[in-house]
Amino acid sequence: MINEKYKLLKNKTVLYVEDDLTLQKNIVETLSHFFGKVLMASDGDDAYDIYIANQNKIDLIITDINMPNTDGIAFSKSIREYDRNLPIIIISAYTDTDYLLDSIDLNIVKYITKPFTTKKIITLLDKLLEHFELNNNIVIDKNIKLNYESGELLITNQKIKLTKKETIFMKLLAENSIVTYDMMYEYMWDYNKSPSADAIKSFIRKFKKKLPFDLVKNKHSVGYYLDI
């Protein structure tokens, strides 16, 4: 079954940018079968505003090139000022070499020519599975690895199953020199009101109990960091 094969994409959020509203509606309907959330924009300016408002939640961008106002290449360049690794898929009716050359430095995952057929979507999904799987395993240290999708932390061959919040927290620790309290509120809690200090302490206490040694340290009034 197609949905079963691509189920890992169900926890991904995609921003799809297309100025042809009829095509946009059809593709969004298709993408919704595979991705957990599909955000829509009709030009590069609109897409940029949506990205800024949701940049911590968007996992993938699919954008047309030829659009009014800001085109897909210019939009992609703007995204790259914030994030060099966010996967971007370029779709275009053009096969002009100039477009291809202009997108080389943008670290584009895939370049697709229109029409955006079902066959091309399936090929794209296969590419994305490969891409996300390659980025699932985060090497924190030579003896510490995190599989973000499965929520498993591997420490010297010991597998530790993490909750969703613990997995996000560990990823933040791996990618930042220090994880501030504000970062924890933004990424780990789904409501606007910040959790209490006791809730944070309880979370950290339970998390540290799972670890074979004191890996996570606190910087008073700032946040947490990895001591490796």
Domains of the chain and any CATH numbers: 2-135 (3.40.50.2300), 142-226 (1.10.10.10)
Going from the C-alpha of 38 to that of each of 49, 118, 138, 171, the distances in angstroms are 15, 17, 26, 24
| 130-144: pLDDT as tens digits | 777 645 677 788 889
| 167-208: pLDDT as tens digits | 999 988 987 889 999 888 888 886 566 788 899 999 999 999
**Which stretches of the chain score pLDDT less than 50?**
1, 134
**Is residue 81 a contact partner of residue 108, using CB atoms and an 8 Å limit?**
no
Q: Provide the 10 A C-beta neighbour count for residue 213.
A: 9
- Give dist(CA 166, CA 153) in Å, integer: 10
- Give dist(CA 103, CA 126) in Å, integer: 22
The model carries a pTM of: 0.59
DSSP string, 42-95: SSHHHHHHHHHHHTTT--EEEEESS-SSS-HHHHHHHHHTT-SSS-EEEEES--
SS3 2: helix
The pLDDT assigned to 22 comes to 93
Q: Is 67 exposed, middle or buried (0-12, 13-18, 19+ CB in 10 A)?
A: buried
